[in-house]
Structure 1
């Protein structure tokens, strides 16, 4: 075959889980998280990243930058890249994982880190609500040659333009939609990016499938009452990601990565 998953039994390069709040996380919550000894025992690398938010001025005035400070607790590999990270920045609380095994184990760990972040926000005393629950998964497959046969990895499907099968070595195909939901207080955004690109450091030719999902809550939900909804939602987003992969991967590739549409 012209493609193989980047891992022996799955293709996940990274997975992230996030909460977007209805306003910025307070400095007190950031400080509280940076002092959580139970979390630091597992995520000992403490960093304080900064970012800038640009707000448009009135009447065409130049955008005004606003500095945002946050905290990241991480478990680093020897090369300095995070295998796990818990971040607070602006209105976002997020967990990033690039050491994926299987869903049940990964989600159990990620949920514990998110709950630690939620507790820090609640204990800081600033009432916040959750506006968005998000989940992103990136799967990667390495091509064995530049003139690969894309049909070794992907089947013709409703998410992929037919020209991709003759587009050459590198290309991208990005599509988005809102999945139907029965609850009018929620909307379900899906963004599916399929790309083939050369990795800058190794020149490897990689097929990457990035599936971003957001559950947008209207009205937002009090963060103190979000735990059960987080678990229910993330499991639903995981199932949706598997369904999408089942639609686009060949049967052989799905078998190689252990994609089980009925299990985990």
Structure 2
């Protein structure tokens, strides 16, 4: 059950607030797929590529099934929920963060893990190809008002079904589209919005309360483009920077200007 600090839901009963003080990001996931499969020797090479990996992500879980082999490393809160998770198994690399701060800090750390895994694969297989980079961002907005006016948070735009604006507290909207970025690169966007009510522990009054929420889940996946080892090491940062801007563009179309300002959507350090 989530808890909330630093918020006065009574003052914000007439409108929404981001789940955090200065941004709405609940979690982000960076992903990359490749044409080979993780093998035991890759894990040893990974430890050499990123010497502090075990120190930064001390919770270890090996993945070893008939379908895939690999490892999951994480850094956890006292309640055992994960703050950072690094998965390197099968033919995928994924890094998830549930304590987002700002883009530069989070992306540098996440892409550092991913590039270390890429180098460990390349060291064994110079012919490996990398494809389908993915970037998922989940934003959450909350209000104490169970009869809220959705148009105070979201714009009426093609990204959300019109019915959501007169469906009351609970509704769902799911859409998708392609963007052409270059002759050899398309981006598939999947946008899922959901709304409802939830219980949470309100630290301001010391007991369980109920609130309304709107969750925005935006997933981008690259299509067509493949990269060899040299290209992935050179281009991965720029590729994810482009996906980051793609998410901000989507949120700009979706969110009303008051909330854009509240979460500093286009601030220099975001």
Question: What is the TM-score of this pair, normalised by structure 2?
Answer: 0.84
| Cα distance change on mapping 1:49 and 1:150 into 2, 3 Å | farther
Corresponding residue of 1:243: 249
Corresponding residue of 2:190: 191
The aligned length equals 248
> 1:200: Cα distance to partner?
7.4
In the alignment, does 2:31 pair up with 1:24? no
Q: Could you tell me whether the CA contact under 8 Å between 1:246 and 1:261 is conserved in 2?
A: no
Q: Which runs of 5+ in 1 are unaligned?
A: 52-65
In the alignment, does 2:138 pair up with 1:123? no
SS at match of 1:142: strand
Distance 1:172 1:102 in 2: 28
> 1:243: Cα distance to partner?
1.0
Query: Which stretch of structure 1 is more off in the superposition, 142-151 or 248-257?
Result: 142-151
Q: Could you tell me whether the CA contact under 8 Å between 1:14 and 1:98 is conserved in 2?
A: yes
Distance 1:157 1:186 in 2: 26
SS at match of 2:27: strand
Q: Could you tell me whether the CA contact under 8 Å between 1:34 and 1:73 is conserved in 2?
A: no
> 1:262: Cα distance to partner?
7.1
Alignment of 1:173-184 (within 5 A): 173-181=173-181, 183-184=182-183
Distance 1:175 1:235 in 2: 23
Q: What is the root-mean-square deviation of aligned Cα atoms in Å?
A: 2.2
SS at match of 1:226: helix
Corresponding residue of 1:63: none
| Cα distance change on mapping 1:132 and 1:147 into 2, 3 Å | same
Distance 1:126 1:87 in 2: 22
> 1:116: Cα distance to partner?
1.6
Corresponding residue of 1:152: 152
Distance 1:236 1:131 in 2: 15
| Cα distance change on mapping 1:147 and 1:50 into 2, 3 Å | farther
Distance 1:109 1:262 in 2: 19
Distance 1:238 1:207 in 2: 21
Q: Could you tell me whether the CA contact under 8 Å between 1:130 and 1:217 is conserved in 2?
A: no
Q: Could you tell me whether the CA contact under 8 Å between 2:172 and 2:194 is conserved in 1?
A: yes
> 1:69: Cα distance to partner?
2.8
Question: What is the TM-score of this pair, normalised by structure 1?
Answer: 0.86
| Cα distance change on mapping 1:48 and 1:126 into 2, 3 Å | farther
In the alignment, does 2:39 pair up with 1:39? no
Corresponding residue of 2:222: 215
